[in-house]
Amino acid sequence: MSIQVLDKVFSLYISEKEIQLQVQRIAEEIQQDFSNEKPFLVCILKGALFFFADLLEALAIPCDLTFYRVSSYSGLASTENIQEAAPFPRDINGRKVIIVDDLIDTGNTMEFLISHLKKLGASEVRIASLFFKPGKFKKDFPIDYYGMEISDEFIVGYGLDYDEEGRNYPDIYRVNE
């Protein structure tokens, strides 16, 4: 199955069912680690919105949440220039924070976020990402929770976009080159 997004054709890569299995597994891991605590979850907009919503629904522990928007992509590539859309919206001083993102590739954005949230007073910062591209990862911090390792292919669907298009698909599609 293929879809057209702007000037690119994408083929089915990961089904909605496979995604939901990973979301459930990540939720279970977070619940084990935070069974007696109330973590503060930060959804990185816009790409993580679908994952964040499904993760919240799967979690059976209390948590606080907020949304935060940064970006580093233009077209199919990272600009490596992280842009903050607005100041961080909530007080996290002394809180254990879990950054919820859609995809970690180089790690530049996540490194920025970890540093920024620690400066804002987070006592601990963990990372939950649905997808991880180990072949592009350039950093040395741990990815605490992730759904699946994927190759270095550009993907859309389930919140991920190509120039703001293609987010609405429940499955993940990879670009045909």
Catalytic residues: 105
Q: Please answer whether residues 176 and 8 qualify as being in contact, where contact means their C-beta atoms are separated by less than 8 angstroms.
A: yes
Alpha carbon distance, N-terminus to C-terminus of the chain: 15
Distance, in Å, from the CA atom of 166 to the CA atom of 177, rounded to the nearest integer, reads 17
Task: Give the CA dihedral 18, 23, 24, 26, nearest 10 degrees.
Answer: 130
Distance, in Å, from the CA atom of 166 to the CA atom of 172, rounded to the nearest integer, reads 10
Q: Is the dihedral of CA 121, 62, 58, 145 positive or negative?
A: positive
User: Residues 6 or more apart from 71 whose CB is under 8 A from it?
Assistant: 82, 83, 85
Helices 49-58 and 16-33 cross at an angle (nearest 10°) of: 60
DSSP label of 107:
S
